[in-house]
Structure 1
């Protein structure tokens, strides 16, 4: 299927690895020109080089989006790279929390860091880049949220609350953009596999079964901890495929919604 993205200009924040990198690669494969963002030159450039090897167009920009100065530089360089941005994917974020045994053990600075990472960084980019989309009469804003926004854990309260705020602003932004041709949507991933999870799976196998079988530990986590109804790990491509659809002109009738992609793990309607 042609996603009608040829020539569109996309900025994917936090795209030097993981979900963001896969979104950047998929958008580029569909013909979009992609600005890859990260904080590590080597990793960001590796994604750019991979896209170029496959015949796509991409450039790298670097900066910490929780810093107003860095964010301004990212905005200027990203806009300059392809003379504008049509698609903004706010993927940067993540939990600033250390897992706490009690809700009340989470200090206020962790709450603040979570909102800086997951809510205010996207707002900075939206405020800077979306007015031009509105003037051109077409654009896409996609927030990468988390299932923790609607099914939070007591051990990570600041992260879940910040992602819930991201869901809320996704809807309010869609209303603020009514009739402009610019849509605002989000995606709530569940547990998505990265190599960092391997140690958790291995520790689980040792604790539950007394084995060194990482796959056995993974299966236990999916069934009894995450409680998925799909019996495989989520992959970055699962999220990237949805992002490409939401970025496409084919999704013109979709706005103000946040899609849950979690293998059936969230126990809510």
Structure 2
């Protein structure tokens, strides 16, 4: 196994109790990083914590709802009860791609604000609140999990808007000299269709397997969807010293699903 130099570093993964977030947490824990995960589900946090502790690292779980206005402040206050800050921040919490209605004009106004809060705003607030520790340590990694719909058209507009805002956030920070010359890098990972048990794609497969298989055949060049572990592999590399020149990038992990260059 390649040594990415994470031993005793502190990593926060929001939405880290299942799916892509948990896979990232497990990958970093295998490399020796101490892990903080956030979720609104106590049950998922407990299950994830047990799995992560098998890697002989410290694990802190924080039960919080990203839609709450004070979520970022609460997360930071909980972290500071144990550590001064974090070395690695993975802004993974998000969602809303299936919220609202296909008809934009009859979708409730709250959908726009809630999807933006759960994706872009919580990422922006956490990043700004956790940067000071990275500046002090003169090292840090901030990676935001966006979506292919933050890269090109498609999906529901409130989701695409929030996800493209995440890309803009990382790019803007990556051009901020005093931050990046202090050893902090900022990047975005944009997954395509990722099959996660208990999530929307599993529901679609169960409801209409023939239609689902045709969709895979027509839209996915590899003939399959991605896995959370495949996204985690890319994120883990971006967190490493070996990726020190990768800054301000949006890396698509979609098996060729997108059509833009």
The two structures have a TM-score, normalised by structure 2, of: 0.92
Q: How does 1:3-82 map to 2 (within 5 A)?
A: 3-82=4-83
Match of 1:184 in 2: 186
The corresponding residue for 1:199 is 203
- Bigger-Rg structure (1/2): 1
Change (3 A) 1:245 1:79: farther
Change (3 A) 1:55 1:200: same
1:222 aligns with 2:212: no
- SS of 2:142's partner is strand
Pairwise CA distance, 1:222: 1.5
How far did residue 201 of structure 1 move?
Answer: 1.7
* CA distance in structure 2 between the partners assigned to 1:185 and 1:21 by the alignment: 19
Q: Which residue does 1:160 correspond to in 2?
A: 160
Mapped pair 1:246 → 2:238: yes
Distance in 2, matches of 1:72 and 1:62, equals 13
CA shift, 1:192, in A, is: 0.5
The gaps in structure 2 that reach 5 residues or longer are: none
Per-residue deviation, residues 195-251 of structure 1 (Å, max 9, x unmatched) = 232231233335x5xxxxxxxx3x322222xx1211222100011111111111111
Pair 1:263 & 2:255 matched: yes
**Is the 8 Å Cα contact of residues 100 and 111 (structure 2) preserved in structure 1?**
no
Are the equivalent residues in 1 in contact too, given 2:6–2:240 (CA < 8 A)?
yes
**What secondary structure is seen at the aligned counterpart in 2 of 1:142?**
strand
CA distances 1:88-141 after superposition (whole Å, capped 9, x unpaired): 000001116536333433332211111111111111101110122112210010
**3-state SS of 2:113 partner:** helix
Following TM superposition, the consecutive aligned residue runs of length 4 or more in structure 1 with deviations greater than 4 angstroms are none
User: Is contact 1:35–1:81 with CA below 8 Å preserved after alignment?
Assistant: no
How many pairs were matched up? 256
Aligned to 1:149: 150
Partners of 2:71 and 2:166 in 1: CA distance: 21
Matched, 1:237 2:229: yes
State the superposition RMSD in angstroms: 1.7
8 Å Cα contact 1:145-1:188 kept in structure 2: yes
The CA deviation at 1:178 is 3.2
